[in-house]
Structure 1
């Protein structure tokens, strides 16, 4: 029961953090007047987002996210959840990039910036965030920096409110359900070597192309 309670509360933390970061993203867009970001800017912000998320999750464990659970067990479970979350985000970004590329090649109507996707940068920001989460266990004093503390205290304050707390607890429940599906997909994704499963429709089309009869072949 404590395990589900820990994952549920951590899901609320993820949801509220995403909400707060969304507000920050809106502020950035207003400051830049909606200018299209470069690849470097996108992954710089994503790296900052992931690092502070890892820090906030670490603070959650220090604060006793599930008081009856062992501290080390909380860290291990939180690390697994972080990895699952990052792998899920990686898959979403990769799939979104494929969709944009298909539409761009078909219609040539979308700007190229929308299709920007850097595999190495995606992996780098994930590894960076997980490394920070691991190192904070050996130097926890660095976790209590002003920005991370502000994020965590804001999350706790929002969670304690009646209206918003109820909404984000519902989100946390769905996060708990979605986590199991992401863990399954993440395991399959890792076992496939970081490749998405083959599309059966593409396979059928390729088979049709291979079986296509060309009357000019006999003439040649």
Structure 2
């Protein structure tokens, strides 16, 4: 069953008087429970495609369907609620709140959804335990290594048990050892929980972790 379907997707940006065609008719399906890699050269449209599928941007034209729902007609408020309830996000710059501790960065999301404080804290600590950070709960981001900060970001993405996790080059700022740890963690979470993971990567060695690779060139896709 396709959890994400994209049909004839275009995204055109205005750069002064010039039209920049970031996506040129992408059509693809992603199956529930897949760990999919999106790869291609710089500027090919990888991040643009991820942003359309994850509802962080709107396409110029084309159709995006998630879990059978045409999300193109959702209002901004409905898109925000949909993202909160169904999606998790991991970015290469971690995007942690610098004034908050490790556990605060993670339990902030379920609390924002109205879940009880005690339940939110317990869930956050459980997830942080799974990513090996039980001993870093009270540390601020600046007191953590890059690999630890990215694991906090993954825990935050996982805390609400989202159906889909979108990751935009999550290992770009990490050394090879921490990159491998992050990819192994993604694979483990994918296999244990059956969550769909869509990840952008520029490293060929990451391919072994993916169930499937979608290659993007000049805003168009092909599969390997």
Q: With structure 2 as the length reference, what TM-score do the two structures score?
A: 0.23
**When you count strand as a share of all residues, which structure comes out higher?**
2
Higher relative contact order (CA 8 A, sep 6+): 1
- Computing the radius of gyration over CA atoms, which structure comes out larger, 1 or 2? 1
